[in-house]
Amino acid sequence: MTVEIICVGTELLLGSIVNTNAAYLAEQCAGLGLSCYYQSVVGDNRERLAELIKTAAARSDILLISGGLGPTQDDLTKETVAEAFGLSLTEDENTRRRIAQYFEKRGMELTDNNWKQAQVPEGCLVLDNENGTAPGMIVKSGERHIVLMPGPPGELCPMFESKVRPYLEKLEPGVILSQTVKIYGVSESLVETKIEDLLAGQKNPTIAPYARLGEVHLRVTAKAADEKEAKKLIKPVVRELKARFGGDVYSTDADTTLEKSVVDLLLAANLTVTTAESCTGGMLASRLINVAGISEIYKSGYVTYSNKAKRHMLGVKKTTLTKYGAVSEKVAGEMAKGAALFTKSDVAVAVTGIAGPDGGTKEKPVGLVYISCQVCGKLTVKEYRFSGERRKIRESATACALMQLRRCLLEYCGTKTFGKDKG
């Protein structure tokens, strides 16, 4: 079956709030094996809403409509839906009781327009709202199911969980399951070329590439009678993708970020890590520290923005700075060495570069970045050239530092045996 998501609200059209309801409902529907082809946002305007509902009902089996169920004059979703399907509004006694209790419980004054929320389209299924006054409603018209939900996420999400999903689950058997293969350091187009044959004429499971900062995520989605069957469909595809991209795949778990995959490697090998950052100025440390449990292996790090700081905090030689300049392979190397030495860490990552907008020269343009990784004494320094504005360059450098560190760790783990005793 097909589902269509309609979010009603002028604040969405003004961009005052981000439409998280649409993302939430879309993800829920995907999990239910419902195909969603359209999402729409429309204001609290009877004519345009009516037109949209007519269009949607003509092309989709299920309409999920959120917002516009409030007590004020400009809330008219319910009225418009009733009109569109030739239904009159009647008062729902239970809802009237619920609203009265809601206000009484909070000692709030109840105004006449609150009773507007007890009005529902005749013959609809009323969904009690445990977190607000506006009830949800399901109108059945021919083969169409029109679901009305309140706009506030704090009311919509619990109502969907407890009442709408069970209703939808009964409409269609089967589940959709997804697994994501996360690849880094390979351009989206190159990824695509490498799996052209898999993408060509794919049916079930499907592979969808999503580009992320320096990464490509391949989402493998299967539709099947049950979870076990869906997993069986996904497994060989994921295996094939891992075979094709090898070490560039850093995870097949949707919740594992690049930084987490790096931290997991460090924890497994029981290696402590530190950072020394110039142009990224704390961004690398911050991404590592996003990972809960990092405290076991990350004790301290440096932001060494000036040459003096590089010398005093990391022991970079004055001669190296004068001879090669702060943005150089040599300085990057000495930064990592010094950081590892002074913090007594097994692993050190250092970044030095020109983030711009100023400070670039013909020989050393804005975007030139050197990243060094020292893993148990073995130093690797790489040169990168990034483009974009200051923030973009810093974000790219941070992502590349994580990628480079991961590669160095894999190499180290390949040569050494894992997990020297903890503590």
Residues numbered 160 to 179 that lie near its own copies (CB under 8 A) are 178
Closest CA to 271 of 383, 403, 411, 395: 411
192 near its own copies, judged by CB under 8 A: yes
Pairing of strands 215-224, 175-184: antiparallel
DSSP 145: E
Q: What is the CA radius of gyration of the chain?
A: 28
Contact pattern from residue 58 through residue 87 relative to its own copies, giving x for each residue in contact according to CB under 8 A and a dash for the rest: ------------xxxxx-------------
Classify residue 15 by burial, with Cβ atoms within 10 Å: 0-12, 13-18, 19+: exposed
Q: Which of 24, 126, 231, 240 binds its own copies (CB under 8 A)?
A: 24
Q: Point out which span in 88-96, 167-175, 209-217, 245-253 binds its own copies (CB under 8 A).
A: 209-217
Pairing of strands 249-251, 175-184: antiparallel
**In the chain, what is the straight-line distance between the N-terminal and C-terminal CA atoms, in Å?**
56
Q: Point out which span in 78-86, 99-107, 135-143, 410-418 binds its own copies (CB under 8 A).
A: 99-107
Contact pattern from residue 248 through residue 287 relative to its own copies, giving x for each residue in contact according to CB under 8 A and a dash for the rest: ---------------------------x-x-xxxxxxxx-
Q: Which of 88, 322, 361, 387 binds its own copies (CB under 8 A)?
A: 387
89 near its own copies, judged by CB under 8 A: no
Q: Point out which span in 13-21, 76-84, 135-143, 244-252 binds its own copies (CB under 8 A).
A: 13-21
Q: Point out which span in 191-199, 238-246, 317-325, 369-377 binds its own copies (CB under 8 A).
A: 191-199
Nearer to its own copies, 140 or 318 (CB): 318
Residue at 149: amino acid letter: M
Q: Which of 88, 94, 204, 306 binds its own copies (CB under 8 A)?
A: 306
Closest CA to 276 of 358, 321, 317, 333: 333
Which residues ranging from 215 to 244 are in contact with its own copies (CB under 8 A)? 219, 221
Nearer to its own copies, 194 or 413 (CB): 194
- Maximum Cα–Cα distance across the chain: 85
How many CB atoms are located within 10 Å of the residue 170 CB?
Answer: 8
Both tokens assigned to 407: 């590669």
SS3 (DSSP) at 375 = strand
Pairing of strands 215-224, 206-212: antiparallel
Contact pattern from residue 284 through residue 303 relative to its own copies, giving x for each residue in contact according to CB under 8 A and a dash for the rest: xxx-xxx-xxxx--xxxxxx
Is there a contact between 127 and 136 (Cβ–Cβ < 8 Å)? yes
| CA–CA separation, 153 and 66 (whole Å) | 10
Q: How far is the CB of 29 from its own copies (least distance, A)?
A: 8
Q: How far is the CB of 382 from its own copies (least distance, A)?
A: 10
Closest CA to 370 of 341, 391, 401, 348: 401
Nearer to its own copies, 43 or 247 (CB): 43
Nearer to its own copies, 323 or 344 (CB): 344
Nearer to its own copies, 171 or 303 (CB): 303
DSSP 72: S
Nearer to its own copies, 290 or 413 (CB): 290
410 near its own copies, judged by CB under 8 A: no
Contact pattern from residue 117 through residue 146 relative to its own copies, giving x for each residue in contact according to CB under 8 A and a dash for the rest: -------------xx---------------
Quickly tell me which residue has 């004068």 as its tokens: 322
| CA–CA separation, 354 and 402 (whole Å) | 18
Nearer to its own copies, 86 or 163 (CB): 163
Nearer to its own copies, 38 or 413 (CB): 38
